[in-house]
Chain A
């Protein structure tokens, strides 16, 4: 009976927000709503976790991945890796699919935008490992997939798909005529 009462109490008690900033060595980005956060989690396929749509190997890198936090079962959504280059986190987490890891980075919590549990991951390590892996592999992976990308500058100036879209619809997405008028005024 005592065990049942304890179980009931645990189920009925609302989750209390925990502080995951202790021991974080995350580098600040000076974002309005950033909070350092270091925690242990399991890397999960979000579609599998939420909708039961579970292909092998987290979808072979096609899908967004989540972090199921060990301390409280909260599902954290890593939107961003550590590169200031318009790059996401799935490429960084994919090698750890299904594994228990420790991550360090920045949590975005902004009541005005009604957002919580959105994360920028800076470093990852498999639980038990001593060495951290920096979450900065995206541009290297892109370069390997796009050896013939033409032009100069960073990846986003040379990406064939992006450049194809801009060639078709312009920088504003409204067509080349609208672009021309805007550019004449903008510069």
Chain B
């Protein structure tokens, strides 16, 4: 009996550890600014993606706000590394990819309700394809300086 309980307890521990193991995935999605997407500070999620939000996405990425990959499944994958570049806080690679649709191959780690992604290869970079400015203008509205005020 003692052995059975110990074995069960160890299996429980093992399954907890296994949950933190990475899983190889290939995800197609848009590189987004996670804070604006999650917080609602700039409006609904749809207003914080694509061309409408591109300038803000540049600001936030350069400002060290985490970038995410908004997958076709609607899930956000927090990007921690891209093709060997671990500069996830204000790095050049993630800045260059702001608002781009990419196909990312890498390792997925799930932890406490969030998805974390280590991108080993950008299989495809389709550029900026999500044209949201016709619906939302730009978010925030001051993203483009008023030419009259310059």
User: Residues of A at under 8 Å CB distance from B?
Assistant: 1, 4-5, 7-8, 11-12, 29, 31-34, 46-47, 50-51, 53, 55, 59, 61-65, 74-77, 79-80, 85-91, 108, 110, 113-118, 120, 138, 155-157, 159, 161-162, 165-166, 169, 171-174, 179, 182-183, 186-187
Q: How far is the CB of B128 from chain A (nearest CB, A)?
A: 4
Q: Does B86 contact A (CB under 8 A)?
A: yes
Which residues of the partner chain B approach A110 to less than 8 Å between Cβ atoms?
38
A118-B86 contact in complex given A50-B116, A63-B80, C-beta closer than 8 Å: no
**Is B112's CB under 8 angstroms from A117's CB?**
yes
Q: Does B27 contact A (CB under 8 A)?
A: no
**Is A162's CB under 8 angstroms from B65's CB?**
no
Which residues of the partner chain B approach A155 to less than 8 Å between Cβ atoms?
63
Which residues of the partner chain B approach A89 to less than 8 Å between Cβ atoms?
64
Give the contacting residue for B22; candidates A51, A79, A162, A173; CB below 8 A.
Answer: A51
Give the contacting residue for B116; candidates A33, A46, A138; CB below 8 A.
Answer: A46
**What is the CA–CA distance of A102 and B114 in the complex, to the nearest angstrom?**
22
The total of interchain contacts (Cβ-Cβ below 8 angstroms) comes to 187
Which residues of the partner chain B approach A29 to less than 8 Å between Cβ atoms?
39, 41
The B12-27 residues at the A interface (CB cut-off 8 A) are 12-13, 16, 20, 22
Chain B contact residues, majority secondary structure: mixed
**What is the CA–CA distance of A34 and B89 in the complex, to the nearest angstrom?**
23
**Is B59's CB under 8 angstroms from A115's CB?**
no
Give the contacting residue for A64; candidates B52, B55, B89; CB below 8 A.
Answer: B89
**Is A87's CB under 8 angstroms from B88's CB?**
no
**Is A63's CB under 8 angstroms from B66's CB?**
no
Give the contacting residue for A75; candidates B88, B112, B138; CB below 8 A.
Answer: B112
Which residues of the partner chain B approach A162 to less than 8 Å between Cβ atoms?
58-59, 62, 95
Which residues of the partner chain A approach B91 to less than 8 Å between Cβ atoms?
62
Q: How far is the CB of B27 from chain A (nearest CB, A)?
A: 15
Which residues of the partner chain B approach A5 to less than 8 Å between Cβ atoms?
5
Give the contacting residue for B8; candidates A8, A118, A161, A165; CB below 8 A.
Answer: A8
**What is the CA–CA distance of A12 and B118 in the complex, to the nearest angstrom?**
30
Closest to B40 in A: A32
Which residues of the partner chain A approach B58 to less than 8 Å between Cβ atoms?
162, 165-166
**Is B62's CB under 8 angstroms from A62's CB?**
no
Which residues of the partner chain B approach A118 to less than 8 Å between Cβ atoms?
34-35, 38, 114
**Is A187's CB under 8 angstroms from B16's CB?**
no
Closest to B56 in A: A86
